[in-house]
Amino acid sequence: MIKELRTRFNTNFSQEKYQAFLKQLEEGYPEITFRVAESPILIPEALKQKLIAAGDEIIALIKQDNFKELTKNAIPKEWLVPNENEQPHFLTFDFGLCKDESGEISPMLIEMQGFPSLYGFQSHLANQYKSAYELDTKLTPFFGGLTEESYFQLLKKVIVGNYQPHEVVLMDIDALNQKTAIDFFVTASKIGIKILPLEEIKKEGKKLFYRQDDEKIQIKRIYNRLIFDEIANNTSIFENSFDPREELDIEWITHPNWFYRISKYTMPFLSGKFVTETRFLSEVDAIPSDLENYVLKPLFSFAGMGVIIDVKQSDITDITDPENWILQRKVTYEPIIQAPDGGVKAEIRLMYLWPDGEEPQLCINLARLSRGKMIGVRYNADFDWVGGTVGLMQH
C-alpha cells in the first residue's frame, strides 16, 4: 500500500517478531481467541481520502429527516426495544478494497452497523504493531487529528456521558468469555466502567442494579454489546436478570434498535460509486441471468452466517420470506496487500463516534486480511497473513 513502508516491513519481518508481537498484545489481558494478522495495513493518503468520502456519503443518508421512516420495518417486532433515542452513538462501515474502472484502489461498501465494534482494542493493537515491529511512531490508526488521549476522552464522553463510571456497565452474555473480551478489558481499563455479564444485572421495578462488595449500585447507562441475533429465541436467559424489551429506567449506549436500522437493511437505500448494487429480494422482479456475480444475504444474521456466495436460482425460489433477504452484486477484492508469498485481500472498517447533540466523527479503523472466499476469521483458518488488523496512516 504505502510501497516504501511495505517493502521495509516485509524485509524486516520474521516469525520470531510476530510471536513476540502476539505475546506483547495479550500481556495483562485474557487470551485472544481470534487470529490477529502478521501485519497492519499501511493506508496511503489517496485511499484515506476515498474512505472519508465514502463514509460521508453514507452519513448523509443516515442524517436525512426521513431515515427512521425508511427503516421502520428493519426492526423485528419481537426485538423492538422501547425509548429509542434520536441517533446511534456508533457507526461502523465495512469496505472491501477493490480496483475501480481506472485501475485505482477504491473502497466498496460491504456491510454497515449502528453498533459498537472493537473501539478499545484497535488502539491497543496499533500500539503493539508499532512497538513490536519498530515502526514509525508517527503512524496512526486515528482520523481527524485525534491522538490516543483525545480519542479515549471522546469515547468516554460518548459511553459515560455525565454519569460516574461505576454507574455505567459494559454488558454482554457471559461477557468475560466472549471472543471480543480483550476489547471489553481494554475499554474498561481506559474509561473506568465495569464489565458485567447480563446474568449479574438484577431488576427492581424499572431500575437495574448490580452488587459490588455487598453494595447495591444502580445502573444508569448500559454500553450494550449484546446482539439479539446471537440469542435467537433463547429468551430464557432474561429470566434471572432483565428483559431489554421492557420499559426500563435506563439509557442505552447505543440503543439496540439501531443495530437493525443501520445494517444490511439500509444498503438498498444507498447509491454512489462506493456502494455496490443491493436490492431487497422481495423487490427483484426478474432473477439476474448472471447469478454468479451476486451474493444472497439474510438481513438478520451475524458474522456472515447464512450468506450464500454461489447463488443458484433454486436458492432464490426456495426462500419463503424474500423481504428478509438482500441480493447484492459481488465485490471483487483486489489482493493488494503484499505478503512474502503473494497478494492478500483486505477490508477496512471505518468506526465513528456520535456524541449526543453533536455530529458523527470518524475516529479509528479496523481491518481484516483474507485469502479465503470470505473475509471472516472462520473462512481463513488455514492461512497465514490473514485475520484482524488495523490500518495505519501517515500524518
**Would you state the cell numbers that stand for residue 271, as one nine-digit string?**
447509491
pLDDT at 334: 94
Predicted confidence (pLDDT) at residue 233 exceeds the cutoff of 80: no
How sure is the predictor about 218, in pLDDT bands with cuts at 50, 70 and 90? Answer: very high
pLDDT at 236: 86
Q: Which amino acid is at 150?
A: S
pLDDT at 299: 87
Q: What is the DSSP string of 276-289?
A: --EEEGGG-SS--T
Of the candidate ranges 50-54, 186-190, 264-268, the one whose mean pLDDT is the lowest: 264-268
Predicted confidence (pLDDT) at residue 315 exceeds the cutoff of 80: yes
User: Is the Cβ–Cβ distance between 330 and 288 less than 8 Å?
Assistant: no
Q: When comparing pLDDT for 174 and 36, which is higher?
A: 36
CB burial of 167-190 (b: ≥16 within 10 Å; e: otherwise) equals bbbbbbbebeebebbbbbbbbbeb
Q: How many alpha carbons lie under 13 Å from residue 355 in its C-beta half-sphere?
A: 14
Predicted confidence (pLDDT) at residue 360 exceeds the cutoff of 90: yes
User: Is the Cβ–Cβ distance between 120 and 127 less than 8 Å?
Assistant: no
How sure is the predictor about 207, in pLDDT bands with cuts at 50, 70 and 90? Answer: very high
How sure is the predictor about 229, in pLDDT bands with cuts at 50, 70 and 90? Answer: confident
pLDDT at 304: 55
Tell me what percent of the residues of the chain surpass a pLDDT of 90: 84
pLDDT at 303: 53
pLDDT at 364: 98
How sure is the predictor about 353, in pLDDT bands with cuts at 50, 70 and 90? Answer: very high
pLDDT at 382: 67
How far apart, in whole angstroms, are the C-alpha atoms of residue 306 and residue 315?
12
Give φ, ψ of 71 to 5 degrees: -110, 20
Give the count of beta carbons closer than 10 Å to the beta carbon of residue 48.
16
pLDDT at 186: 98
pLDDT at 300: 75
Please, what sign has the CA dihedral across residues 60, 95, 172, 163? negative
How far apart, in whole angstroms, are the C-alpha atoms of residue 276 and residue 327?
11
Mean pLDDT of 255-279: 94
pLDDT at 231: 79
pLDDT at 351: 98
pLDDT at 101: 85
Mean pLDDT of 202-207: 96
Domains and CATH numbers, the chain: 3-148+258-276+331-393 (no CATH), 160-253 (3.40.50.11290)
**Would you state the cell numbers that stand for residue 102, as one nine-digit string?**
481506472
Predicted confidence (pLDDT) at residue 175 exceeds the cutoff of 60: yes
* Helix residue spans in 287-360 (DSSP H): 313-317
Q: How many helices (H) and strands (E) does the chain have?
A: 10, 18
Mean pLDDT of 176-198: 95
CA distances from 149 to 50, 136, 153, 225, 227 (A): 26, 19, 6, 23, 29
* Helix residue spans in the chain (DSSP H): 3-12, 15-26, 45-62, 67-70, 121-132, 148-159, 181-191, 228-231, 257-261, 313-317
Average pLDDT, the chain: 93
Smallest CA-to-CA distance from 144 within 363, 360, 340 is with 363
**Residue whose C-alpha cell reads 430464557 in the numeric block:** 236
pLDDT at 380: 59
Predicted confidence (pLDDT) at residue 381 exceeds the cutoff of 80: no
Mean pLDDT of 89-116: 94
pLDDT at 43: 97
How far apart, in whole angstroms, are the C-alpha atoms of residue 155 and residue 172?
19
User: Is the Cβ–Cβ distance between 349 and 389 less than 8 Å?
Assistant: no
Predicted confidence (pLDDT) at residue 376 exceeds the cutoff of 60: no
Mean pLDDT of 21-37: 95
Of the candidate ranges 108-122, 241-255, 327-341, 369-383, the one whose mean pLDDT is the lowest: 369-383
Mean pLDDT of 280-290: 93
Predicted confidence (pLDDT) at residue 343 exceeds the cutoff of 60: yes
Encode pLDDT of 69-88 as tens digits.
Answer: 999 999 989 899 999 999 99
Q: When comparing pLDDT for 334 and 395, which is higher?
A: 334
pLDDT at 50: 97
pLDDT at 389: 98
DSSP state of 267: G
Give φ, ψ of 181 to 5 degrees: -55, -35
239 contact partners, CB below 8 Å, separation of at least 6? none
